[in-house]
Chain A
């Protein structure tokens, strides 16, 4: 036992220091948690997932609802996801008197702002803290599919245009192949960004810590398991005195040279992105937001 404790002395000290620091950080993180209480009782609906384009199965919609409910409690903001599959050109242009001239990428903005306001979303109050994603699968006349992230209240304060752009690009990267996965990631990204003190994904996630521990144990065992000692330490010179090798004939005769040539092929590639900002909706309420096209 004494030998064991002596061997792991340094390990125990290092882990002890880590443990103290880790527990301290955990206590600090817990102290930042806020118990949000919903104060908005005027919202027109409690529904959060409006899959009008029918891109998700019923099970996926239910999973997304549960994820949103949990995230809303953690961050004190409403999160709404809307999918559409229809042109919004006439709809958006009908509001040009109040919001000004609109381009195809802004059709979803008009829809999102109105949807948010009409349903009086907002966690703390009607038209209050929240975020709404509209993903319209219809290809407008500009040939693109447009999405819009509408931010209000604290979410609007938090998100810059660049952050909105990043969030939409990341979340919607695989939306064509996996719509549910994309919307779920959108919710996760918003939750992570809006969590007080920051919600960071663990550096060593899930079962990786167990895997690392198992691998380290195995390596340690194999490394210390009965090993052979003794390597070959003779060389070709060991039994021949230095300089005793007699070279009788040594020739390297050049015969000829052959040359081959090959043309090297080269390739090039290119890419692009989008943007958005703060504005007022048709009802005159302030929203932030940004769009994404694909």
Chain B
């Protein structure tokens, strides 16, 4: 399916800044019309064969005409997302974020963050499972509080012993676990947090203008990572309530996680791929908050030239300082 402009027939897309549908050809707003015809093999707009469609693709850009297409079979039934967090920053804003973070890195190749390279940046809705857990924490331990004082030439050490008990319930809401195997888990974890207040019920129009995927595995598949996150945070909550002691020994600790609900959501990420000397560098920008994740490539010739210059200048400075301090 494809969203077309009623006024000019162009491809209407969702505009993150305007927060509404927009036609980049005639600049009409909210003039979209959903055309549901089309297949998984050919572009709904120009009929050209679609490239890059895999078993999880739900939205993509036609390599021939540049139209953004949504695959109907991937947004229906059990594959239909419960929630979607629409893009809040535009491509230009994402580029600006990248330049802000990496623009001052002096060892990067000249083509890095060049206009031509950045044109290849694409926005993508990444599938996430959001889990709700009720965590029950039960703790019992022994703790000591030590104080040292001095009277004359005598050092006095006083140790108070305590029996510590904690029982608490922590309701975790929407712990995210990415359900895409092509996105690295550690990178997606660093994309967090998203501001869930902006989550909406899924509508196809938010996907127009971006790429997208359905979940690559079921809700059960992501549970282990979600439980790890909930357990880690539960431990931290527990630790935060046992402060002010010198030592702390656990007698009994139990963290029980009861799953209450899981939802399928699509969260926005801008992805920039940059190839340098045969290696692919990936940069991710949170499509809502603008948080940037990535590692800059290094042009070693540049690095050596700049570093040698620094060394040379330090050497000259040392000699000058010796000459100057020889007088004063």
Q: Is A141 part of the contact surface with B, judged by Cβ < 8 Å?
A: no
* Contact in complex: B294, A239 (CB < 8 Å): no
B161 near A257 (CB under 8 angstroms)? yes
Cβ contact within 8 Å between B295 and A251: no
Contact of B233 among A15, A212, A220, A236 (CB under 8 A): A236
Q: A203-B322, A240-B171, A264-B150 are in contact. Are A229 and B292 (CB under 8 A)?
A: yes
Q: Are B320 and A18 in contact (CB under 8 A)?
A: yes
Are A262 and B106 closer than 8 Å at their CB atoms? no
Say yes or no: B305 contacts A255, CB within 8 Å: no
Residues of chain A lying within 8 A (CB to CB) of residue B306: 4, 7, 220-221, 224
Residue B275 interfacial (CB < 8 Å):
no
Q: CA separation between A212 and B320, bound complex, in Å?
A: 14
Interface residues on B, range: 35 or more
Whether the Cβ atoms of B164 and A251 lie closer than 8 Å is yes
Q: Mark A220-236, 1 if CB is under 8 A from B, else 0.
A: 11001111111111111
B295, A245: Cβ atoms closer than 8 Å: no
Indicate the size class of the contact surface on chain A. 35 or more
Tell me the bound Cα distance from A230 to B150 in angstroms.
Answer: 48
Which residue of chain B is the closest to A7 with respect to CB atoms?
A: B106
**B166 A249 Cβ-Cβ under 8 A:** yes
Contacts of A252 in B (CB 8 A): 143, 162-165
**Which of the listed residues B159, B229, B314, B328 has the most CB atoms from chain A within 10 Å of its own CB?**
B314
Task: Please indicate the chain A residues that have their CB under 8 angstroms from the CB of B303 in the complex.
Answer: 221, 224-225
Binds B, one of A23-31, A127-135, A182-190: A23-31
Query: B162 contacts A25, CB within 8 Å?
Result: no
One of B106, B156, B291, B294 near A261 (C-beta < 8 A): B156
Q: Which residue of B lies closest to A26 (CB)?
A: B323
> Which residues of the partner chain B approach A11 to less than 8 Å between Cβ atoms?
309-310, 313
Establish whether residues A22 and B153, one from each chain, have CB atoms under 8 Å apart when the complex forms. Answer: no
Once the chains are docked, how many angstroms separate the CA of A220 from the CA of B304? 10
Contact A233 B172 (CB under 8 A): no
Tell whether A204 is near chain B: CB-to-CB under 8 Å: yes
Interface centre among B106, B162, B305, B327 (most CB of A within 10 A): B327
Mark B residues whose CB is within 8 Å of A.
101-102, 105-107, 143, 150, 153-175, 187, 189-190, 192-193, 229-230, 233, 236-237, 240-241, 291-298, 303-328
A-B contact pairs, 26 of them (CB 8 A): A7-B306, A209-B315, A213-B315, A216-B311, A216-B314, A217-B307, A218-B307, A221-B306, A224-B107, A225-B303, A226-B105, A226-B296, A226-B298, A227-B105, A229-B296, A232-B190, A240-B170, A249-B166, A250-B168, A255-B161, A257-B158, A259-B157, A260-B156, A261-B154, A261-B155, A264-B154
- 4 pairs of A and B residues whose beta carbons are closest in the complex: A22-B320, A230-B293, A209-B318, A217-B311
